[in-house]
Amino acid sequence: MDRKKCTRIVKNVSRLLLVQIAEVLEEEIAREKKVWVRKWLARRSTLGGSALLLKELYAEDPAEYHTCLRMSPELFDILHDLIANAIQRSDTLMRDAIPLRIKLEVTLSFLATGNSYRNLQHLFRVSKAAISKFIPEVCDSIYLKLRDHIKLRNIRNLFFIH
């Protein structure tokens, strides 16, 4: 084969490859992006339990707030301030961090009611995965900050082990 014919074949193959690469790139761009956060969860700051009900109870009915979280609004604020540095995360480019207030309210609600993670997810608009991750962290932080004030019963008596 002569040199001109080889050059022409290489050019034609190169054009075909470029056309195929361009098509693949267009498909990638057109493909629907996956959503990181479900739309209904993303409305946490405006429609979640913390933004609506607990905010109202905090301001208007401290006794009912105490019933929900087993803690007065004043004690909640003190606890919030105590653990703030240990629990609060920073926002990232991918998503906003869950506010400390919501983490603490979810944790206290869980401890007060024993609601399932699914129920808490729906009430506070926070994913079950996030709840399962931060409840132990919040509990550990509370314990570390208040361990001098927490009295634990003998574990043997708790489980009737003798």
pLDDT band of residue 26 (cuts 50, 70, 90) is confident
Residue % of the chain over a pLDDT of 70: 89
Instruction: Report, as an integer, the average pLDDT of 91-105.
Output: 85
87 pLDDT more than 60: yes
Segment among 58-62, 85-89, 107-111, 125-129 with least mean pLDDT: 85-89
pLDDT band of residue 1 (cuts 50, 70, 90) is low
Distance CA 126, CA 130 (A): 7
157 pLDDT more than 60: no
Domain layout of the chain by residue ranges: 1-33, 39-146
Token pair of 148, please?
A: 């001098």
Distance CA 17, CA 151 (A): 72
Residue 160 φ/ψ, nearest 5 degrees: 55, 40
What pLDDT score was predicted for residue 161?
A: 46
Nearest to 128 by CA among 35, 41, 68: 41
SS3 162: coil
Q: Mean pLDDT score of the chain, rounded to an integer?
A: 85
The 3 state secondary structure assigned to 73-114 is HHHHHHHHHHHHHHHCCCCCCCCCCCCHHHHHHHHHHHHHHC
Instruction: Report, as an integer, the average pLDDT of 133-152.
Output: 89
Choice between 53 and 110, residue whose per-residue pLDDT is larger: 110
Distance CA 104, CA 96 (A): 17
Distance CA 103, CA 50 (A): 10
SS3 152: coil
70 pLDDT more than 80: yes
pLDDT band of residue 31 (cuts 50, 70, 90) is confident
- The answer, as to whether pTM is greater than 0.85, is no
75 pLDDT more than 60: yes
